[in-house]
Structure 1
Amino acid sequence: MLITTPITETLVRGAADLERTEHGLLPHRLPARARAQCADGQLAVAESQPSGVRLAFRTTATTVELDALPTKRVYLGAPPRPDGVYDLLVDGRLTGQASLPDGDTVTVDLATGSAEHRPGPVGTVRFTGLPAREKDVELWLPHNETTELVALRTDAAIEPLPGRGRRVWLHHGSSISHGSDAASPSTTWPALAASLAGLELINLGMGGSALLDPFTARAMRDTPADLISVKIGINLVNADLMRLRAFGPAVHGFLDTIREGHPTAPLLVVSPLYCPIHEDTPGPGAFDFAALSTGRLRFRATGDPAERAAGKLTLGVIREELARIVEQRRAGDPHLRYLDGRDLYGEADHAELPLPDELHPDAATHRLIGERFAKLSGC
């Protein structure tokens, strides 16, 4: 007989807020106050996709079931997206994986930006044959599907996972940090780096939304953490959000806000990974509709390199400015460091492991980046 355990914040790690819905609980990675300050649809989708969020408990159970309602996104004309993956880890080792084929569906027309929502059924992921001993279980939720938690059942009692003395690592970045094109939630590069370094991850990597927003900085300021990193650049270029004059003060303000809550925590500023389309060409970035017509998803840069003279941002410009800012601030902040993103994924890596859509790394590259970050970050 299975025991139903109420899902509460004591069982959920990596989320800032649990919103009660018609079906259950919706994990959010930004607090309600931050969400209320921005009506951007892209941000709403990104922060509600539970990258790095997992259920964590200790139990002797051999069977674990989770009822959940995913929201899947279909992009007209683009290749089908794979179903999100649920990773089950036992004592830190990946033991099982499952997916839900059904759920709510949002169909997006890339040409017009219109979206149609179709409701679907709640589904169940089930894991059996787990070792019949006391163990630590983590069920990582799909990093790329908004997921409402409906019910948790096991064949033995569970208790919240006790503290393991691990340092908490708070990270903010773009879709690459979010986990775009990673194989599963526990194999995004931040999740891999956290596992290798023995850290508890809070992942604020949010697709298309690493834009130096003040409400994100305040959320980081107010989140308990031992180590902090911010990966800045690619979204500012492909959104064509600001010019060089605004960029420097915005970086300073973002870091100032984080430091209000974490004055002495190690703080790592990471510049963009190598990305040929935006190295010297400004944004905005756009879908390559010629590629879409052949069933391939690709991105392109639409700016003019000559526009750099007017202050338009490229990845090269951003790296130079971030290095300058960190060097300037280090005079009064010895716990601040800079990491060139090309040390995580550079030009030589691109020759061997190219970006399939010109923007996002594949699963093998996520592993490479995670391994390098664990070594180079000083965690």
Structure 2
Amino acid sequence: MQQIPLSEKLFHGAVSVEKAKDFMKPWRIPYNKKDFFYPNCISGQAEMPAGVRIKIRSNTQAITIGIVEAAELMEMDCVIDGTLVKTAYIPAGETMVSFDALTGQTKLIEIYLSQKVPVKVSGVWIDEGAAWERVDDTRLHWITYGSSITHCYYSDSPSQTWPALAAHKLDLNLTCLGYSGNCHLEPMVARMIRDLPADFISICAGINIVGGKTLSDRTFTPALIGFIQTIRDVHKNVPLVIISPIFHREREKAENEVGLSLEKVRREIRQVVDMLKRHGDQNIYYIDGLELFGEEFERYMPDGLHPNGEGDKIMAVRFQQLIESYVPISRIKT
């Protein structure tokens, strides 16, 4: 087999790529500033490559990805011309994963890395003599920020998270900033989004803020305003969607110790969006999380909080429908 030279240009959906002698590792924060993303690189979530994929165009009939020993079971997906053809289950200690029996035609190959486990890629190999080229993704760039509901630990596989499915349906180039257990309107994340290229941005915030009691009824609204305005320092006219929390029965009405419930957070998010519109931001949009994934879909949340694989598919379809209703694609593409 022939080895493809490792390059950060092979990785799509990463914010940065750590380069070592024997591997490259995608990150969802700037690796050279990782100490700023307190605590511990957003609680260790930023090194898990949700939404990150290796992408080439080739007529190879097999592709092999080398990895530094998997610390635990991980999954990777092989997607050909937008269609999932195989999910590989890679046991702890394994250093190679292969996808074969591919067609001999020239095709777009995307290898979605695990969204649950950090991945150090040590090499990429294709058939001897096969033609290949790196791919520049010229589609509009979508950045989505959120919690575990956006990170999608419980999806069927890495390419079947709701952001990955929605990006495919909307024909967008995805960067997923879903950080499980986090999404507390971290100022460094706002600065990072501000400094990344973006044609469309979505933010789904509130559920962990209520659950973790990290912001109160006094501090939530100003923190959200500041987060949005930091992004607007650069992305002044980019369509920006603010999504309130999806349904979670336990936290809907009961206020926590610092005065927030999900119902109250939804009202405050709506008020912030309306206020910013009054002050001239005509490209900011509000989506009620109950429209995205409301009580009628509770059966797809086995733990009452996180959508399962089928729930993610529903969320992807609902997100597509809501975006096409509230934020016409023609507005994103102008």
Match of 1:138 in 2: 110
Q: How far, CA to CA, are the matches of 1:39 and 1:162 in structure 2?
A: 32
Q: How far, CA to CA, are the matches of 1:181 and 1:17 in structure 2?
A: 25
Q: How far, CA to CA, are the matches of 1:237 and 1:33 in structure 2?
A: 31
Asked if residue 270 in structure 1 is aligned to residue 243 in structure 2, the reply is yes
Letter in 2 for 1:324: Q
Match of 1:93 in 2: 83
Q: How far, CA to CA, are the matches of 2:70 and 2:100 in structure 1?
A: 25
Specify the SS of the correspondent of 2:74: coil
Letter in 1 for 2:308: D
Q: How far, CA to CA, are the matches of 2:276 and 2:253 in structure 1?
A: 26
Q: Report 1:122-161 matches (<5 A).
A: 122-155=94-127, 156-161=130-135
Specify the SS of the correspondent of 2:197: coil
Letter in 2 for 1:50: P
> 1:189, 1:366 within 8 Å by CA — same for their partners in 2?
yes
Q: Identity over the aligned pairs, expressed in percent?
A: 33
Asked if residue 315 in structure 1 is aligned to residue 262 in structure 2, the reply is yes
Q: Report 1:1-379 matches (<5 A).
A: 2-21=1-20, 23-32=22-31, 34-41=33-40, 43-69=42-68, 72=71, 83-103=73-93, 122-155=94-127, 156-163=130-137, 165-282=138-255, 303=256, 307=257, 311-331=258-278, 332-350=280-298, 353-377=299-323, 378=327, 379=329
Q: How far, CA to CA, are the matches of 1:354 and 1:135 in structure 2?
A: 35
Q: How far, CA to CA, are the matches of 2:31 and 2:190 in structure 1?
A: 14
1:246, CA displacement in angstroms?
0.9
Q: How far, CA to CA, are the matches of 1:141 and 1:337 in structure 2?
A: 31
Letter in 1 for 2:24: L
Letter in 1 for 2:204: K
Q: How far, CA to CA, are the matches of 2:113 and 2:149 in structure 1?
A: 17
Distance 1:12 1:354, change over 3 A: closer
Q: What's the CA shift string for 1:268-324, capped at 9, x where partnerless? A: 000000011111235xxxxxxxxxxxxxxxxxxxx5xxx4xxx42221111010000
1:84, CA displacement in angstroms?
2.4
Q: How far, CA to CA, are the matches of 1:204 and 1:326 in structure 2?
A: 21
Distance 1:248 1:71, change over 3 A: farther
Q: What's the CA shift string for 1:164-200, capped at 9, x where partnerless? A: x421111000001001210111110111111111111
Distance 1:44 1:373, change over 3 A: same
Distance 1:11 1:260, change over 3 A: same
Aligned residues: 322
Superposed structure 1 runs of 4+ greater than 4 Å apart: 70-73
**Structure 2 stretches lacking a partner, 5+ long:** 330-334
**Structure 1 stretches lacking a partner, 5+ long:** 74-82, 104-121, 283-302
Q: How far, CA to CA, are the matches of 1:375 and 1:256 in structure 2?
A: 27
